[in-house]
Amino acid sequence: MTLGLINANPVVQAKKERLVRTQDQYRDDGVDPLDIYDILFPILSFEWTKYVRDIRDPEHPYTLEQLSVVSEESVTIDDELDRILITFTPTIQHCSMANIIGLCLRAKLKESLPLHYKVDIRVSPGSHADENGVNKQLNDKERVAAAMENPNLRQLVDECIYSDEI
């Protein structure tokens, strides 16, 4: 997998103020989209550009959240079957980063959720040139398992998902 930041001038959203949630807003059982977003939030703050080579614009250390990759609306949950769908929007059409972002999202959720949850990860419709190809790859668990055995990729993913635990 080549790591390279292709989009030199991404459209940047203003960093949203995170709402502080009270205990009342948490459900007693199961998970809701806000819980999932909380799990993913640390990786959204991960400063990607520090870790990829061929950075075209090192002056812009953007995070995933600022690039509108994942928002609270990106999470769909099927309570009965314990299935989670994450839809993310890579702002760069031809970005190979979509695969790595997908792997990090999956790895972070695997670390944080009970094992029986089924997680599907997709790019949002129209957001990627090879939408079907990327979706298929992100959800083929054999490919994901093999990719995660690649030491370089594993290291990058680990740095991302544990980035809040310094």
Partner 1 sequence: MDLMEKNLELVENQKLEGHTDRVWSVAWNPVSSNADGVSPILASCSGDNTVRIWEQSSLSRSWSCKTVLEETHTRTVRSCAWSPSGQLLATASFDGTTGIWKNYGSEFECISTLEGHENEVKSVSWNASGSLLATCSRDRSVWIWEVLEGNEYDCAAVLSEHSQDVKMVQWHPTMDVLFSCSYDNTIKVWWSEDDDGEYQCAQTLGESNNGHSSTVWSISFNAAGDKMVTCSDDRTLKIWGTDITKMQSGEEYAPWTHLCTLSGYHDRTIYSAHWSRDDIIVSGAGDDAIRLFVESKHDSVDGPSYNLLLKKNKAHDNDVNCVQWSPGEGERLLASASDDGMVKIWQLATKQ
**Residues engaged in binding partner 1 (CB under 8 A):** 81, 115-116, 118, 136, 140-143, 145-146, 149
Cα-based angle 161, 53, 141 (whole degrees, multiple of 5):
45
Cβ nearer to partner 1, comparing 53 with 116: 116
Q: How far is the CB of 118 from partner 1 (least distance, A)?
A: 7
Instruction: Please state at what angle helix 141-148 crosses helix 151-161, rounded to 10 degrees.
Output: 90
For partner 1, give the closer residue by CB, 44 or 102.
Answer: 102
Cα(35)–Cα(49) distance, integer angstroms: 27
Nearer to partner 1, 60 or 154 (CB): 154
Nearer to partner 1 among residue 60 and residue 143 (C-beta): 143
Min CB(22)–partner 1 separation in Å? 33
Instruction: For residues 109 and 39, give the distance between their C-alpha atoms in angstroms, rounded to a whole number.
Output: 7
Quickly list H helices, the chain: 33-44, 97-112, 131-138, 141-148, 151-161
- The CB-of-154 to partner 1 minimum distance in angstroms stands at 12
- The CB-of-30 to partner 1 minimum distance in angstroms stands at 17
